[in-house]
Amino acid sequence: MTQPLYAIPGAPAATPAAAPPAVAAAPARTVAEVLQASQVEAVLDELERDLVGLAPVKQRIRDIAALLVIDKLRLNLGLASQMPSLHMSFTGNPGTGKTTVALRMAEILHRLAYVRKGHLVAVTRDDLVGQYIGHTAPKTREVLKKAMGGVLFIDEAYYLYRPENERDYGQEAIEILLQVMENQRDDLVVIFAGYGDRMETFFRSNPGLSSRIAHHLDFPDYSRDELLKIGDSMLAGMNYRFGDDARAAFAEYLALRIAQPHFANARSVRNALDRMRLRQASRLFAERERELTRDDLTTLLPADIRASRVFGTPSA
Ligand SMILES: Nc1ncnc2c1ncn2[C@@H]1O[C@H](COP(=O)(O)OP(=O)(O)OP(=O)(O)O)[C@@H](O)[C@H]1O
Ligand SMILES: [Mg+2]
């Protein structure tokens, strides 16, 4: 092998395949060289900019990136010989950004050349576990094949383990995963995701899995203020905005909604905004002859928000 094991990638994925190799043959010796060659800071900055809140998660990701950059420099000086274990768990309530952050993580791992392709394959129990004897192994292996060179994201991972069934096929999937996590960790990173307390029980029942997970990231619930900002940024992304008093109405909406069952953080914000956009559309639709301005078409009014049944009014 002429290249070091973790040759620094030439450039981010966007570079056409035909481009000449951008990196000099000399292995990197400084953090700056690794950052420059991998462009990983751009992803970290994006993460910082695009995602509201999540300060502890962002910090952990910066720490992991630092570890990987230093590991690369150690490798280049022959100080590291083994691929670091990069399997992770993301725990947190619904809608706290686990899937979103997993996608960014895949990108970071790719830019630092810890995975070849950087794609993310998101699955749940049903994708891995079969209904009948003999069906699970081929299903799991098929998923693993798709995920090779990238990140396998297993959502609600605790459903893999069903102790109440004497011989649950989920156990078979876990055993195959364990093997691959150990033997092919230079080509696949597995992220186990799910809600906090259930994940804890799952890991306690599967110490073999738990011990192979290097990084546990905990996603906190968003505060109402953060949810408001998430709302602003989602609206801006869709070319909408809160009109006068509408943002205040939405803040009130959130205070009520948070206390209700099935509240799902940023996911509930997205769903609420979708319904509010529907109401805005119905409102405008009724004004057949009026010329609709840019302002009309982009602005949510308090009425679009207050018609929600969360306020106790009979509407969707
Ligand atoms: N910090 C944030 N800033 C802006 N948008 C966010 C943030 N967190 C989540 N979102 C948005 O909220 C939605 C739900 O996020 P995501 O699917 O990542 O959550 P999740 O934790 O995977 O949820 P679930 O457990 O329900 O799968 C997405 O549309 C995402 O873009
Ligand atoms: Mg998700």
Give the pLDDT confidence of 153-206 residue by residue, as tens digits. 999 999 998 888 777 899 999 999 999 999 998 899 999 999 999 999 999 999
Asked whether residue 7 carries a pLDDT value surpassing 70, the answer given is no
Indicate if the pLDDT at residue 117 is higher than 80. Answer: yes
pTM of the model: 0.87
Percent of the chain scoring above 90 in pLDDT: 81
Residue located nearest, by CA, to atom 28 of ligand 1: 267
pLDDT at 8: 40
Which ligand is nearest the CA of 236, by number? 1
3-state SS track over the chain: CCCCCCCCCCCCCCCCCCCCCCCCCCCCCCHHHHHHHHCHHHHHHHHHHHCCCCHHHHHHHHHHHHHHHHHHHHHHCCCCCCCCCCCEEEEECCCCCHHHHHHHHHHHHHHCCCCCCCCEEEECHHHHCCCCCCCHHHHHHHHHHHHCCCEEEECCHHHHCCCCCCCCHHHHHHHHHHHHHHHCCCCCEEEEEECHHHHHHHHHHCHHHHCCCCEEEEECCCCHHHHHHHHHHHHHHCCCEECCCHHHHHHHHHHHHHCCCCCCHHHHHHHHHHHHHHHHHHHHHCCCCCCCCHHHHHEECHHHHHCCHHHCCCCC
Residue nearest to atom 23 of ligand 1 (CA): 95
Query: Which range among 75-84, 182-191, 237-246, 248-257 shows the weakest confidence by mean pLDDT?
Result: 75-84
**Is the confidence at residue 17, as pLDDT, over 80?**
no
The response to whether residue 227 sits with its C-beta less than 6 Å from ligand 1 reads: no
> Does the CB atom of residue 194 touch ligand 1 within 6 A?
no
Q: What is the dihedral of CA 117, 122, 128, 129, to 10 degrees?
A: 180
pLDDT confidence tier of residue 12, bands split at 50, 70 and 90: very low
pLDDT one-digit tens code per residue, 258-281: 999 999 999 999 999 999 999 999
For residue 99, how far is its CA from the centre of ligand 1 (angstroms)?
7
- Measured CA to CA, the distance from residue 128 to residue 143 in angstroms comes to 7
Q: How many CB atoms lie within 10 A of CB 4?
A: 14
Give the Å distance between the CA of 101 and the centre of ligand 1: 8
What's the pLDDT at 288? 93
Return the percentage of the chain with pLDDT > 70, whole number.
91
Banded pLDDT at 313 (limits 50, 70, 90): low
Q: What is the CA radius of gyration of the chain?
A: 23
Instruction: Name the residues around ion ligand 2, CB cutoff 5 A.
Output: 99
**Confidence at 20, pLDDT banded by 50, 70, 90:** very low
Q: From ligand 2's centre to the CA of 193, what distance in Å?
A: 8
**Cα separations in angstroms, 58 against 49, 92, 101, 129, 200:** 11, 14, 9, 33, 22
- Point out the least confidently predicted range of 11-15, 66-70, 88-92, 236-240: 11-15
| Tens-place pLDDT, residues 26-84 | 889 999 999 999 999 999 999 999 999 999 999 999 999 999 999 999 999 999 877 88
pLDDT bin (cut points 50, 70, 90) of residue 10 is very low
Question: In the predicted model, is pLDDT for residue 15 greater than 60?
Answer: no
| Calpha distance 255→266 (Å, rounded) | 14
Which own/partner pairs from 159-167 qualify as long-range (CB within 8 Å, at least 24 positions apart)? 159/124, 159/125, 160/125, 160/128, 160/129, 160/202, 161/202, 161/205, 161/206, 163/205
Task: Establish whether residue 270 lines the binding site of ligand 1, counting it when its CB lies within 6 angstroms of any ligand atom.
Answer: yes
Which residue shows structure tokens 């809608």? 95
Ligand 1: nearest atom to the Cα of 92: 21
- pLDDT reported for residue 26: 83
The pLDDT-based confidence of 314 (bands split at 50, 70, 90) is low
What whole-number distance in Å separates Cα of residue 265 and Cα of residue 83? 36
Half-sphere exposure of residue 305: CA atoms within 13 angstroms, side-chain side: 23
Cα-based torsion angle of the residue sequence 259, 263, 264, 266 in order, rounded to the nearest 10 degrees? -50
State if residue 266 touches ligand 1 by the CB under 6 angstroms criterion: yes
With vertex at residue 197, the alpha carbon angle to CA 121 and CA 193, rounded to the nearest 5 degrees, is 10
Question: How many angstroms separate the CA atoms of 306 and 221, rounded?
Answer: 24
Per-residue confidence (pLDDT) for residue 32, from 0 to 100:
92
- pLDDT at res. 22: 52
Asked if residue 198 has its Cβ within 6 Å of ligand 1, the reply is no
